[in-house]
Structure 1
Amino acid sequence: MPRAGLTVERVTIAGAELADEAGFDQVTMSQVARRLGVKDASLYSHVRNLQELRGRIALLAADEKTIRIAEAVAGRAGRDALVAYANAWRGYAHEHPGRYLATQTPVPIDPDLAADAPGPRRAIELTYGMLRGYGLAEPDLTDAVRLLRSTFHGFVALEAANGFGHSRSTQESWGRSLEALHVLLEQWPTSDRGDHP
């Protein structure tokens, strides 16, 4: 029987908090149970296993990150939307490093859970909508999405690992990187070919 007061939402949030504090790869059923002050067995009334818990953390984080980005870009277009989008992405990664990593880690997720989660689907809509403001269409849209994701994730991952050794401010480099992306998106090299080398 489920423990009174313990819900799947509380278990998921406890796991997400643990991910931020210790790292997403350190989330275990035992650690989450300890955090909640219950026995490991109590958790299994709410989540089937660690895989489901990590999937739920990933979906929670995707929802949170998407809401933050949506609020940031509302009413903006072009460069302003790009900068707001990127800063919201980076801000979430800084504030919730474990949850953020969950959104970037391939985690097997129950299709029924994924179907009910608006975050990932809304994130795609937001990204494609912002890029259409630059006049992009397929296949350039997909290529641009991959470029932005690679740039944003690469930057915040290097920041998290203290991978920037130069004395120049990372904030200055971030700002210049966004300016460069804006220029590139405005002058995107279009191609009639659907297959790129």
Structure 2
Amino acid sequence: MVRAGLTQERVTGAAAELADEIGLERVTMAQVARRLGVKDASLYSHVRNLEDLRGRIALLAADEKTIRIAEATAGLSGRDALVAFAGAWREYAHLHPGRYQATQTPVPIDPDLAASAPGPRRAVELTYGMLRGYGLDEPDLTDAVRLLRSTFHGFVALEAAGGFAHARSPQDSWVRALDALHTLLENWPPREDGDS
């Protein structure tokens, strides 16, 4: 019998909260059950297993992060859009480290579930839309998306791990990194002949 009030959304939400508190890799079905005040077996009426639950956390986080980025960048373009986009990304990673980790960790996700989740698809649209403002098209768009993701993720991952021990403020370095990215995007190098 399914416990009244227990839903996939509640199970996923409880797991996401735990991931933020203790780290995604340390979340177990037993801990989620304790958080919700139910027996472990009750969870399996709502999620198949831990892998399924992690996939649901990833999709929840992708939705949340995308909404935050969309709100931050609405009506902006160029450098302003880039700074707002990057700031929303970094802020989400700081506020929700476990959820953020779920968005960066490959987990098998049920294709039907993934198809019904707007977050990942909307994230791609937002990123490509911002970069088109710099006059980029394919394959440069894909290369620029990968550059931004690598830069943003690398910075927040190092920051979270305490990897910036220098006396200079990470915030000052973040601002300069965004200045450099903006300059690069405005002056994107031409492709060599035969580069596709």
Match of 2:89 in 1: 89
Q: What pairs with 1:174-185 in structure 2 (closer than 5 Å)?
A: 174-185=174-185
Alignment of 1:150 with 2:150, yes or no, is: yes
1:85-164 equivalences in 2 (<5 Å): 85-164=85-164
Aligned equivalents of 1:172, 1:160: Cα separation in 2? 16
Aligned to 1:36: 36
Paired position in structure 2 for 1:10: 10
Runs of 4+ in structure 1 deviating by more than 4 angstroms, as ranges, are none
Please give the alpha-carbon distance, in whole angstroms, between the structure 1 residues aligned to 2:46 and 2:194.
46
Deviations 1:146-170 (A, max 9, x none): 0000000000000000001100000
SS in 2 for 1:30: helix
Cα contact 1:14–1:35 (8 A) shared by 2: yes
Residue 190 of structure 1: CA displacement?
Answer: 2.0
- Does the 8 Å CA contact 1:140/1:190 hold for their aligned counterparts? no
SS at structure 2 position matched to 1:108: coil
Amino acid paired to 1:65: K
Q: CA RMSD in A?
A: 1.0
The one-letter code matched in structure 2 to 1:122 is R
Partner amino acid for 2:28?
A: T
CA contact (8 A) 1:139 1:194 kept: no
Q: Is the 8 A contact 1:72 1:84 kept in 2?
A: yes
1:111-168 per-position Cα deviation (integer Å, ceiling 9, x unaligned): 0000000000000000000000000000100000000000000000000000011000
Give the secondary structure class of the aligned counterpart of 1:14. helix
Is 1:61 equivalent to 2:26 in the alignment? no
Q: 3-state SS of the aligned residue for 2:13?
A: helix
In structure 2, give the amino acid aligned to 1:79: R
Contact 1:12-1:57 at 8 Å conserved across structures: yes
The aligned residue for residue 20 of structure 1 is: 20
Work out whether residues 61 and 100 of structure 1, in 8 Å CA contact, stay in contact via their aligned partners in 2.
Answer: yes
After TM superposition, give the deviation of residue 195 of structure 1 in Å: 3.7
Uncovered stretches (5+) of structure 1, i.e. residues with no partner? none
